[in-house]
Amino acid sequence: MGNGITGFDDGSKRHRSEEGDILRFPDVVDNAPLPENLQEQTLDQIIQAARPELFAAVDTTGEVGDMETQRLIPTTSSKNNTSDEGVQPKSTTPIQSHPVTFHWRYGAVQSVFVAGSFNNWRSKVPLSAIPDAEDVNGPTDDEIEYASLTTEQMETITQILQSKSNDADAGTNKLKWVRHWSITLSIPAGQYFFKFIVDGQWRHDPFYLSVPDPKGNVVNMMLVLPPQPESSAERIKAEGMKRVKADLGRLGLNKADVYNFPNDEEGVNKKYTQVIPTIQSYRKSAYPRMVPRHFSQTIIRNHWAHGRADIMPKMTHVLVNHLHISTSQHTPRRQKASAPKMAFPYHISILMSCSQPFRNKLVTLIFCSSPEEDPQKEERINAIIAKLHQSRITESAQPIPAIVEDRNDSLNQTAKNG
């Protein structure tokens, strides 16, 4: 039985109206006299009594979201706060409230109030009259029927309207019939029940959703929802920024250190400029750009199966067209457990790899290289080769034909057979 506010499960506390609230609802049926224990209060007092944490939320500058909440709470509410020093905010997380407009459109003469579960039915909030030129004509027939005005009420209204003719006798507190009354309150998201008090009588708005309470009284129900973001793109961007901040926080870095654009103090590219940044302005950041998480695991050295060594797993397009360079001697490889441990004594110092598309397929090239050889080694190599030739000549019975010289290779000095 949902009198409690269903609320949202993000951990922030919501005002929870207990079951007892409705039971404490003044035992009224429609058209019963107005009970006296409802006091009229100023807007501030009402809201503060009900939701002291709202006042706290006003003062904190925490992240409330991108949306501007329209608050009727004046900034001078801090004076109320100081008088209530004993009041502690119920939650440390700021509460997201949304503006809700209560509109009574069926006219009233004296006053219109609204009371509801958002202030625990403890007090009534006055609505402001919005005079209209049409008001002089009184309620239309539809409105009379819609608002279920009784004959008595109609008489009163007619009297008031008639009394307009006596303008000269009109005092400052001449009653007028005004059709529209409204007030906008800032209410946290959730489900609420409310009812209007129009000219001293409990009235519900027949146009909106109305539900019976346990005692059979009809009350209106409303659901306050946070506004949906303008577009999913904004939502995605917000999510992305959250993750970036989490990554930075994990590494102990500041956003300004890493995302440092020139001409930019706070690290957020706030303005455009025609000044071409110098290389110095990019060197301001102490840390290199963070590598995207897709590259945290290189798949270049992947497990191979016999005969399938030229197959790579299918890669996402983001991994393509990036050059990987590894200068470590020995990258740990996953080997089959049954394979004997192999030693790799030779030094391939540079490994470069790049995946590129070729028409509709992907080709990954892994290039093994080492730095330039020194001339001493070259002499030694030549000596070895010479010895090899000699041995071959003495060994073989047939003369070895001369090695053909390459026309293109001008460096081929040692290919000549002795």
Partner 1 sequence: MSEPTSEQKTSADSPQNTSPFKDETAIISSFLKVHTAYDLLPDSGKVVVVDASLSLGAGFQALVENGISSAPVWDSKRVEYVALLTLADYVEVFADFYQYFTPEEFKECLEIVTIREWNKNRRLRPVIKEGSGLNGTPVEIEEKPALHARTPLIFIHPDASLLDSSKVLLTHHFHRGPVMDTETNTVLHILTHARLLRFIVVYANWTQDSRILEHTLEEVKIGNFGSLVTVRDSTPLHEVFSILNKSSVTAVPVLDANDTVIGLYSMSDVRFLPLDRIYDSMNMTVREALENRPNGLALHTCMITDKLKTIMATLARQSIHRVMVVDEDNHLKGILSINDLLRFFINTE
Residues in contact with partner 1 by the rule CB under 8 A = 304, 306-307, 309-315, 333, 336, 338-339, 342-348, 356, 358-359, 361-370, 372-373, 377, 380-382, 384-385, 387-389, 391-392, 395, 398, 400-401, 403-406, 408-409, 411-412, 414-415
**Cβ atoms of residues 109 and 175 within 8 Å:** yes
Query: What's the closest the beta carbon of residue 291 comes to partner 1, in angstroms?
Result: 22
Tokens of 86: 């004993």
Query: What's the closest the beta carbon of residue 309 comes to partner 1, in angstroms?
Result: 4
Phi, psi at 363, each rounded to 5°: -125, 125
DSSP states of 53-97: HHHHHHH------SSPPP--S-TTHHHHHHHTTTPPPS-SSPPPE
Q: Give, as one character, the DSSP assignment of residue 360.
A: T
User: Strand, coil or helix: what is 385?
Assistant: helix
Closest CA to 203 of 222, 191, 183, 219: 219
The CA distances from residue 239 to 64, 233, 246, 403, in Å, are 15, 10, 11, 68
Distance CA(67)–CA(62), nearest Å, equals 13
Q: Could you give the angle at which helices 52-59 and 43-50 cross, rounded to 10 degrees? A: 100
Query: What's the closest the beta carbon of residue 385 comes to partner 1, in angstroms?
Result: 5
Angle at 120 between CA 117 and CA 124, to 5 degrees: 90
Distance CA(129)–CA(113), nearest Å, equals 11
Distance separating the N- and C-terminal Cα atoms of the chain: 105
- Toward partner 1, which CB reaches closer, 2 or 345? 345
Query: What type of residue sits at position 95?
Result: I
Query: What's the closest the beta carbon of residue 404 comes to partner 1, in angstroms?
Result: 5
User: Strand, coil or helix: what is 138?
Assistant: coil
- Toward partner 1, which CB reaches closer, 279 or 343? 343
- Toward partner 1, which CB reaches closer, 40 or 406? 406
- Toward partner 1, which CB reaches closer, 288 or 313? 313
Query: What's the closest the beta carbon of residue 292 comes to partner 1, in angstroms?
Result: 20
Query: What's the closest the beta carbon of residue 297 comes to partner 1, in angstroms?
Result: 16
Query: What's the closest the beta carbon of residue 294 comes to partner 1, in angstroms?
Result: 15
- Toward partner 1, which CB reaches closer, 290 or 381? 381
- Toward partner 1, which CB reaches closer, 105 or 389? 389
- Toward partner 1, which CB reaches closer, 171 or 418? 418
Query: What's the closest the beta carbon of residue 314 comes to partner 1, in angstroms?
Result: 5
- Toward partner 1, which CB reaches closer, 293 or 308? 308
Tokens of 416: 């000549």
